[in-house]
Amino acid sequence: MRVGVLALQGAVAEHIRSLEKTGVEVVTVKHAEQLAELDGLIIPGGESTTIGKLMRKYDFMEAIRDFSGQGKPVFGTCAGLIVMAKEIEGGEEAHLGLMDIKVSRNAFGRQRESFETDLDVKGLEVPLRAVFIRAPLITGVGEGVEVLSTYKDEIVTARQGHLLVSSFHPELTDDFSLHTYFVEMIKQTKQP
Ligand code: GLN
């Protein structure tokens, strides 16, 4: 199984390290053509406006929409979540618009720019150490979207079929259970 990490900007190396721990083959994705050889894709955190710009510049928009359209799993973390959302609050144009969620950027405000907490995530056996860095929140979900975790009643992890998103950075700790969850999603889609 081959899983790619979109390597335009942001926490790329950390995702590669976490994915490698799950035992899959990991591909650093710098060109849209590489998507053809992948079974799943992670869009890392960083800065969503920058990632969106680079995705447009390097022809990733249609390529990732096609990839997702084939039912191949995509996992967006933090800024990656923002670029996957159908709607961004504040009138900003959506990027990939893959997932039926509405997001608010930098929703925790200045005082809580970064923090860590232990989160119960549906589908994971033990709480996950979640690192939030200028994190977005999911402020609305469409019908097919399942909420996997909340923090103070706000949605921070969600899944819509083959699409997975988290507001936090699951790649910044040694706990790779959410990566394992994503790899399981990929395995399920590959079953005949
Ligand atoms: N605040 C960033 C944005 O709006 C996301 C932060 C992150 O990915 N850690 O793009």
What is the interface pTM, i.e. ipTM, of the complex? 0.94
Closest ligand 1 atom, CA of 49? 10
- pTM check: above 0.90: yes
Beta bridge partners of 117: 130
Residues making up the binding site: 46-48, 105, 133-134
DSSP state of 47: -
In sequence order, which ranges of the chain are alpha helices (DSSP H)?
12-21, 48-57, 60-69, 79-84, 177-190
Closest ligand 1 atom, CA of 78? 8
Domains identified in the chain and CATH numbers: 2-190 (3.40.50.880)
Mutating to test ligand 1, I would choose from 88, 105, 138 the residue with most ligand atoms within 8 A of its C-beta, which is 105
Low-confidence residues in the chain, pLDDT < 70? 110-112, 192
At 63-117, the pLDDT tens digits run 999 999 999 999 999 999 999 999 999 989 999 999 999 999 988 776 568 999 9
Q: Is 11 in the pocket of ligand 1 (CB under 6 A)?
A: no
b/e burial code for range 31-48 (CB count within 10 A of at least 16 → b)? ebebbeebbbbbbbbbeb
Composition of the chain by helix, strand, coil, percent to 5: 30, 35, 40
Q: Is 42 in the pocket of ligand 1 (CB under 6 A)?
A: no
pLDDT of residue 134: 93
pLDDT of residue 179: 98
Mean pLDDT over the full length of the chain:
96
